[in-house]
Chains A and B, each alone.
Chain A
C-alpha cells in the first residue's frame, strides 16, 4: 500500500509538472491578454501543488 501510494504521488506530481508546463507555454503563445491572465491564474494553483504547499 505504501509503495502504491508513493508511486501514485510521484506520477501525480509528474502530471502536474507537465500540465503546468503546457499552461505556461500556452500563456506565452496566446495572443489574447485575457487568455494569458486566465492561464497565469491557473498556473498559481499548479505551482502551489507541485511544491506541495497546498
Chain B
C-alpha cells in the first residue's frame, strides 16, 4: 500500500511539472514571415560561422604546429624533397638529420670542386694533397690520419682555402671546427673511408609517441665517433597534421626537461592527412599486387618501397627508400608501438637478412633487465619497412614495437596522461591484474609508461649497433634481392656515444634527456 501511495505521489509531481512547463508561453515565430525567417536564419548562420571559425583556427593551429627539436649536434639537415621531388613545399616534406662521426676521414675541397672529386681515384690523381700539414703525394695506404695533430689539420684546410693545395684529408671533426668560417669549402663526394651508417626512424605513426621520442633521444644526445647517424623523427609528417579520426584523442602532450622547461609534442594520426591524399579507395592495392583494406592506403608503413609519382604516402616512402639507397645506409631501425592487446609487441621484427643481427641483439637484452622477442618479417606481407625497405635496399632493416595503452581499444577516457601513461588506465590495469590472477592472455604485454617504452627503444637500437660491431662490422650481402646481388663489405665499427641507456631513462625519465630549447 505504501508503495502504491508513493507511486501516486510521484506521478502527481510529474503531472504538475508538465503542466508548469506547458504554461510557459514560448514566443511563436512564424517562419513563413520573410523577416522572421531572415532573422532566425542569420542568428543560426552566425552561430555556425563562429563555431566554424573557432574549430577552423584550432585545427589550423594544430596542423601548423611543429614540435621543435634540439639540433646542436646535427651536421647537416636534408629534407624528403631531395629524394622525392614532388614533396617540395608540402606538409610531409620532413627534415632528415645527419650526424657525422668525429673520426670519419673526409677530403675537404673547395665547394666549386665538389663534383670534381666524386671518386677516390680522382682524389688520388689530384695535383696536390695535404696530409699531416704538408703538401705531399699520398697513396691509399697512407689515408690513416689518426696521428694528425689538430694544428696540422687546420693548416691543411687553410691551404685548400688559400688555393695552395686542392684537397685536405682530415677528420670530420677537423672540418667541423672550421666549416662555419670557411663556408666555401665542402667535403668531397669521394668515399675516403668506408664507414657504417644507421637510420633511426620515429614517427612513422604519430599515434605511437615512443618511436618519435626514442629517435629524438638519438638526435639530441648522440655523439657519433665513427660512422654516420641519420635520424628522421617525423617519418610521416602529414600524419602529424591531423588527429586519429573517431578516437577523440588529445592533440598534444608535454614533457619536462631537467631544468623544468616544458617541451610540447604532438599526438597525431596513424595515417596521412586526407587533405594531402584523397580519395580513399575501397580496396588498397599495393604495388606488389597485395590487397589491403582501404584504411591502409594512407599508412606509410604499407607503402614501401614507394613511388615518386604515386599517392602522397607513396611519395613519402619513396623518399625514405631513396635516402637509404643513395647513401648506402647500413642499418635501418623503424620504431613503433602497438596496443597491449596486439600480438606483435615488445619485439624486434627483422628482415630475413637482418635476423641474425636481431637474434644477437636479443641476447644483449636478456643480459639486461628486460626481454624482447624476435620475429621474422613475413615474406608475403608487403609495404612494411622490415619487408619492402629490406627488399629494395641493401640495408639491414628492423622494426621495433613497445606497449602503448593510448592506441588500445580497452582504454578509458583519453588524456595526455594516457599517452605518457603517467596516470594509469583502470581498464588496462584491471586486464593486467586479471591476467596475473587467472593466467589468461588478455594483454600480450602490460601497458607501459613513456619512460619504459622509450628506454626499450633506445636500448634496442643500441643493442643492434653492438651486435653489428660484434658480428664483424660487415654490410649486408644480398643474394636474391629485388635490386640485384651484392657482397657485403667490411665497414669497421659504428661508434655512437652519449645515448641514454635503459636504466638511465628508467631512473631519470625521458624529459631529463631532452634539451632545453632557446
User: Which residues of chain B have C-beta atoms less than 8 A from A51's C-beta?
Assistant: 56
Q: Is the pair B63, A28 in contact by a Cβ cutoff of 8 Å?
A: no
Q: Which residue of B lies closest to A24 (CB)?
A: B45
How many residues of chain B get a CB closer than 8 Å to chain A's CBs? 27
* Of B45, B63, B242, the contact of A40 (CB 8 Å cutoff): B45
Main secondary structure of the interface of B (DSSP, over half): helix
Q: Is the pair B32, A37 in contact by a Cβ cutoff of 8 Å?
A: no
Q: Is the pair A12, B56 in contact by a Cβ cutoff of 8 Å?
A: no
Interface locus among B47-55, B135-143, B364-372: B47-55
* Of B40, B242, B279, B309, the contact of A36 (CB 8 Å cutoff): B40
Residues A32 and B56 in contact in the complex (CB < 8 Å), given A44-B51, A54-B242: no
Q: In this assembly, does A43 line the interface, its C-beta being within 8 Å of a C-beta of chain B?
A: yes
User: Which residues of chain B have C-beta atoms less than 8 A from A54's C-beta?
Assistant: 55-56, 59, 242, 275
* Of B41, B44, B278, B307, the contact of A12 (CB 8 Å cutoff): B278
A48–B242 CA distance with the chains assembled, in angstroms: 13
Q: In this assembly, does B163 line the interface, its C-beta being within 8 Å of a C-beta of chain A?
A: no
Q: Which residue of B lies closest to A41 (CB)?
A: B48
Q: Is the pair A27, B56 in contact by a Cβ cutoff of 8 Å?
A: no
User: Which residues of chain A have C-beta atoms less than 8 A from B32's C-beta?
Assistant: 31
A54–B44 CA distance with the chains assembled, in angstroms: 22
User: Which residues of chain B have C-beta atoms less than 8 A from A44's C-beta?
Assistant: 48, 51-52, 55
Q: Which residues of chain A from 16 to 54 have any CB-CB distance to chain B below 8 Å in the complex?
A: 27-28, 30-33, 36-37, 40-41, 43-44, 47-48, 51-54
User: Which residues of chain A have C-beta atoms less than 8 A from B60's C-beta?
Assistant: 53
User: Which residues of chain A have C-beta atoms less than 8 A from B55's C-beta?
Assistant: 44, 48, 54
* Of B47, B59, B279, the contact of A48 (CB 8 Å cutoff): B59
Q: Which residue of B lies closest to A36 (CB)?
A: B44
Interface string of B2-43 (1 = CB under 8 A from A): 000000000000000000000000000101100001001100
Q: Is the pair A47, B311 in contact by a Cβ cutoff of 8 Å?
A: no
Q: Is the pair B56, A5 in contact by a Cβ cutoff of 8 Å?
A: no
Q: Is the pair B242, A37 in contact by a Cβ cutoff of 8 Å?
A: no
Main secondary structure of the interface of A (DSSP, over half): helix
Residues A8 and B279 in contact in the complex (CB < 8 Å), given A2-B309, A33-B31, A53-B59: yes
A44–B48 CA distance with the chains assembled, in angstroms: 6
Q: Chain A, interface size: which category?
A: 20 to 34
Residues A53 and B44 in contact in the complex (CB < 8 Å), given A8-B279, A48-B56: no
Q: In this assembly, does B86 line the interface, its C-beta being within 8 Å of a C-beta of chain A?
A: yes
Q: In this assembly, does B310 line the interface, its C-beta being within 8 Å of a C-beta of chain A?
A: yes
* Of A1, A5, A9, A28, the contact of B41 (CB 8 Å cutoff): A28
A9–B280 CA distance with the chains assembled, in angstroms: 11
User: Which residues of chain A have C-beta atoms less than 8 A from B307's C-beta?
Assistant: 1
Q: Is the pair A33, B63 in contact by a Cβ cutoff of 8 Å?
A: no
Q: Which residue of B lies closest to A27 (CB)?
A: B41
Q: Which residue of B lies closest to A40 (CB)?
A: B48
User: Which residues of chain A have C-beta atoms less than 8 A from B56's C-beta?
Assistant: 47-48, 51, 53-54
* Of B40, B45, B242, the contact of A33 (CB 8 Å cutoff): B40
A41 shortest CB reach to chain B, Å: 7
Q: Which residues of chain B from 250 to 294 have any CB-CB distance to chain A below 8 Å in the complex?
A: 275, 277-279
A53–B86 CA distance with the chains assembled, in angstroms: 21
Q: Is the pair A36, B59 in contact by a Cβ cutoff of 8 Å?
A: no
User: Which residues of chain A have C-beta atoms less than 8 A from B275's C-beta?
Assistant: 52-54
User: Which residues of chain B have C-beta atoms less than 8 A from A1's C-beta?
Assistant: 307, 309-311
User: Which residues of chain A have C-beta atoms less than 8 A from B40's C-beta?
Assistant: 33, 36
Q: Which residue of B lies closest to A54 (CB)?
A: B59
A44–B55 CA distance with the chains assembled, in angstroms: 9
Interface string of B208-235 (1 = CB under 8 A from A): 0000000000000000000000000000
* Of A9, A12, A27, A30, the contact of B45 (CB 8 Å cutoff): A27
User: Which residues of chain A have C-beta atoms less than 8 A from B279's C-beta?
Assistant: 8, 12
A27–B60 CA distance with the chains assembled, in angstroms: 27
A1 shortest CB reach to chain B, Å: 6
Residues A27 and B31 in contact in the complex (CB < 8 Å), given A8-B279, A44-B55, A53-B56: no
User: Which residues of chain B have C-beta atoms less than 8 A from A52's C-beta?
Assistant: 275
A27–B47 CA distance with the chains assembled, in angstroms: 13
Would you give 27 A-B contacts (Cβ < 8 Å), ordered by A? A1-B310, A5-B277, A5-B278, A5-B311, A8-B279, A9-B278, A12-B278, A12-B279, A27-B44, A28-B37, A30-B31, A31-B31, A33-B31, A33-B40, A36-B41, A43-B48, A44-B51, A47-B52, A47-B56, A48-B55, A48-B56, A53-B56, A53-B60, A54-B55, A54-B59, A54-B242, A54-B275
The list of the 10 closest CB pairs from A to B, nearest first, reads A40-B48, A31-B31, A40-B44, A44-B52, A52-B275, A54-B59, A36-B44, A53-B56, A53-B59, A28-B41
Which residues of chain B have a CB within 8 Å of any CB of chain A?
29, 31-32, 37, 40-41, 44-45, 47-48, 51-52, 55-56, 59-60, 63, 86, 242, 275, 277-279, 307, 309-311
